[in-house]
Amino acid sequence: MRRLAHLRGEVEGWRELIRQVDDALELTSLDDKALRPDIEDELAAIEEEITRRETRALLSGRYDRGNVFLTIHAGAGGTDSQDWASMLQRMYLRWAEKRGFGTEILDMSEGEEAGIKSVTIAVDGEYAYGYMRAERGVHRLVRLSPFDAAHRRHTSFALVEVLPQVEVDDEVVINMEELRIDTYRSAGAGGQNVQKNETAIRITHLPTGLVVTCQNERSQTQNKANAMRVLRARLLELKHQQQVEELAQIKGDHIKPEWGSQIRSYVLHPYQMVKDHRTGYETGNATTILDGELGGFIEAYLRYSIGQTN
């Protein structure tokens, strides 16, 4: 029924676009100069809708239309990298907010001095995974460190993982006997924020060694349900990754991803620039990007990924 409703919406959208085009042609045929502003407004609306539909056409993957789990890990670099991870967290939360997507922090490990060591966020919205898969990879920051007494320039790294939220999928079967489930007290900043009961959950998938934690809900049952959702997504990603690596090895172009292979660089000193190394897309307004304006980078990646698969 969800699939049917989606298709009906798509068909009605195309019908509405055809009506807009017909109306514009009718206005143009009147050859009335007084109608020129109305015609220009109508054409601008049609162009905007066509651009939106072109972008949607790039989101044709199996899970593109669904929700997403976003996990950010601070890399080497101590406090600077942990602060960078928190900057990325803010950037993605702002991006989701501007798109009207819902967000929920499922698990977070805070840094000793500042920032975060890691965070897992559930992002809910139409095509959330399709858009956010453009962000998967290592992100590099170059800036004057606010944590260096000499105020020297530092380079920090953070890894962004993007996983589709899959409630039920024939590709992933989880045997409960292959799980080790541990409970512990949720960590916090102290005081009332520290749970006295063991509500946090750690699930270990024994065959693969995958470990998933969830501690942000006050209920152990809720944390367990969220941890299982994330585990299912990680197992699906692991299966797809193995398939891609096997195919790449057959083709002879398999390259193992390492920390040095960053997908995007954010330079704040000695100049401002954000550049995606896959697509070549760049901008000099780093502040706007860090404030969640990622549309240009995402669209450039979607067009690039179509070229890679053809």
- Region label for 77, one of left (φ > 0), alpha (ψ between -120 and 50) or beta (otherwise): left
How much of the chain exceeds pLDDT 70, in percent? 89
User: For the whole model, what pTM was predicted?
Assistant: 0.77
Is residue 150 located within the same domain as residue 41? no
Is residue 145 located within the same domain as residue 217? yes
| CATH code: domain of residue 117 | 3.30.70.1660
Is residue 82 located within the same domain as residue 211? yes
Alpha helices in 136-280 (DSSP H): 220-251
Of 57, 78, 100, the one marking the end of a domain is: 57
Is residue 140 located within the same domain as residue 115? yes
Structural domain tally of the chain?
A: 2
Is residue 150 located within the same domain as residue 270? yes
Q: State the pLDDT confidence band at 5, using cuts at 50, 70 and 90.
A: confident
Is residue 155 located within the same domain as residue 283? yes
Question: What digits encode the pLDDT tens for the residues 117-148?
Answer: 999 999 999 899 999 999 999 999 999 999 88
Helix (H) / strand (E) containing 26: helix 2-29
Is residue 48 located within the same domain as residue 197? no
The distance from CA 166 to its chain's CA centroid, rounded to whole angstroms, is 15
Alpha carbon separation from 162 to 12, 40, 121, 219 (Å, rounded): 31, 41, 10, 26
Is residue 309 located within the same domain as residue 203? yes
Is residue 286 located within the same domain as residue 215? yes
Of 13, 28, 57, the one marking the end of a domain is: 57
Is residue 41 located within the same domain as residue 175? no
Q: What is the pLDDT of residue 6?
A: 74
Is residue 141 located within the same domain as residue 262? yes
- Region label for 248, one of left (φ > 0), alpha (ψ between -120 and 50) or beta (otherwise): alpha
For residue 256, what is the DSSP state? -
Is residue 81 located within the same domain as residue 199? yes
pLDDT at 198 over 80: no
Full residue range of the structural domain in which residue 23 is found: 2-57
User: What is the C-alpha to C-alpha distance for residues 253 and 248, in angstroms, rounded to an integer?
Assistant: 6
